[in-house]
Amino acid sequence: MRAGTQRRIKLFAGITGLAALAGVVFGVQFGWSTFPQAPIAGAIFGAVAGSISGSLFAATVAGVELLLPATRTGRRLERAPFLVILTVKFVLYAGALMAISASAIHRWIAAYLVWGRDAAPAVVQSIHISFEDLFVRGFLISSVLSLLIQFSRMVGPTTLRDILLSRYNRARAEERFFLFVDIVGSTPLAEKLGPASVHAFLGRVFETVSDSIDLHKGDVYQYVGDEVVVTWTLAQGCAEARPIACYHAMVQALAAESGAFRREFGAVPALRAALHAGTVITGEIGGSRRAIVFHGDVMNTTSRIENATRELQQSFLISEDALQRLQGKEAYRLADLGPQQLRGRAAPIRLYAVAPASSGVV
């Protein structure tokens, strides 16, 4: 089983479990208010019913968001216009929520467990929820959920969270890793295939490496032409040398899809990358469009290191500043290239070529 599939299954289970816990909390409150004459039995009834309904609804949402994209139908849906995606997901979520509430399967199971088979029908029938309540509940919850998920997909879950919480409303200095990953040979490929096919090619590449970035807890800062910029805070990136592991996972993911790329585009993508770390100023900027951006020499230096991969004929270079901050770098073979004079910089910077420990000579 691929690492990306394992990650999606774990997320599916985690989301479903958290929703079940949330359902318990709301269910207990519902049980108390519905059965004030039997608060303990009502609380147990509400907890069971809430956990079942919460997990069923969460399983629907998690299935659509995590498992469906891996299918052919899911990939077609992801390429549809934003409003089409939003409408389809809203209908699915609202329909699932209303179906779960209307079927009362969660209430039947809870009543059977708490009061027994003979009393369960009377208990369920005593609970009246109108169609209007179901519709309003389904409309409100599904609308908010659909919008949040789609906005999260557009700007990234970390960026959306930070904007909603105003984490960077005031700029702050922080240490970060930056990984610049460039697709080799995209310019001659563009001349061969044309702009439309190259756009599809780049889209497939970035889609293929997405799981590798998520699996190693990286955040996509931006896509610039044929390059993707991935970042980690110092705490996120230092463990297990995640930026290095992320790059090699990207390479492996593309290698696994090499046959599909060759059949569709007549070319197999190759990568080169640069990793650097240092202090940047992180802050939220913009008016009608808000974004979280990074300012500092670290960004420019990483770009210069990425340019040096061509001059030094290396696929992956890492600066000494980044290497010193990483834990678990012993799992990789490092070739010290010594101080290198980068274009546009006065002082040289020591660079290392990096490869997996099992890959032989760098």
Whether pLDDT at 249 is above 80 = yes
Residue 325 is predicted with a pLDDT of 95
Higher local confidence (pLDDT), 69 or 49? 49
For the segment 278-331, what is each residue's pLDDT rounded down to a tens digit? 999 999 887 777 788 999 999 999 999 999 999 999 999 999 999 999 999 988
Q: How far apart are CA 57 and CA 96, in angstroms?
A: 7
Name every residue whose Cβ is closer than 8 Å to that of residue 6 and which is 6 or more positions away in sequence.
none
Residue 4 is predicted with a pLDDT of 63
Q: How far apart are CA 275 and CA 245, in angstroms?
A: 12
State phi, psi for 173 to the nearest 5 degrees. -90, 135
For the segment 326-347, what is each residue's pLDDT rounded down to a tens digit? 999 988 999 999 999 888 777 8
Q: Are 157 and 15 in contact (CB under 8 A)?
A: no
Q: Are 222 and 206 in contact (CB under 8 A)?
A: no
- Two structure tokens written together for 13: 């289970």
* Three-class DSSP category at 342: coil
Q: Are 273 and 306 in contact (CB under 8 A)?
A: yes
Band of residue 98 on the pLDDT scale cut at 50, 70, 90: confident
For the segment 13-60, what is each residue's pLDDT rounded down to a tens digit? 888 888 888 889 888 988 888 888 888 998 999 899 889 988 888 888
* Residue range 159-356 in CATH 3.30.420.40: no
Average pLDDT over residues 137-145: 69
State phi, psi for 239 to the nearest 5 degrees. -65, 135
Average pLDDT over residues 105-120: 89
> Which run of H or E residues covers position 227?
strand 227-233
Q: Are 230 and 219 in contact (CB under 8 A)?
A: yes
Q: Are 51 and 105 in contact (CB under 8 A)?
A: no
Q: How far apart are CA 275 and CA 280, in angstroms?
A: 15
Residue 360 is predicted with a pLDDT of 37
Whether pLDDT at 10 is above 80 = no
State phi, psi for 100 to the nearest 5 degrees. -65, -45
Residue 134 is predicted with a pLDDT of 58
Name every residue whose Cβ is closer than 8 Å to that of residue 299 and which is 6 or more positions away in sequence.
178, 280
Band of residue 131 on the pLDDT scale cut at 50, 70, 90: low
Whether pLDDT at 1 is above 60 = no
Residue 128 is predicted with a pLDDT of 75
For the segment 148-201, what is each residue's pLDDT rounded down to a tens digit? 777 777 777 787 788 778 888 889 999 999 999 999 877 777 778 788 888 889
Q: How far apart are CA 92 and CA 268, in angstroms?
A: 37
Domain ranges of the chain: 3-155, 159-356
Average pLDDT over residues 240-249: 95
End-to-end CA distance of the chain: 29
Q: How many CB atoms lie within 10 A of CB 282?
A: 20
Top mean-pLDDT range of 13-27, 71-85, 127-141: 13-27
**pTM more than 0.85:** no
3-state secondary structure 94-142: HHHHHHHHHHCHHHHHHHHHHHCCCCHHHHHHCCCCCHHHHHHHHHHHH
Q: How far apart are CA 196 and CA 182, in angstroms?
A: 19
Q: How far apart are CA 281 and CA 272, in angstroms?
A: 26
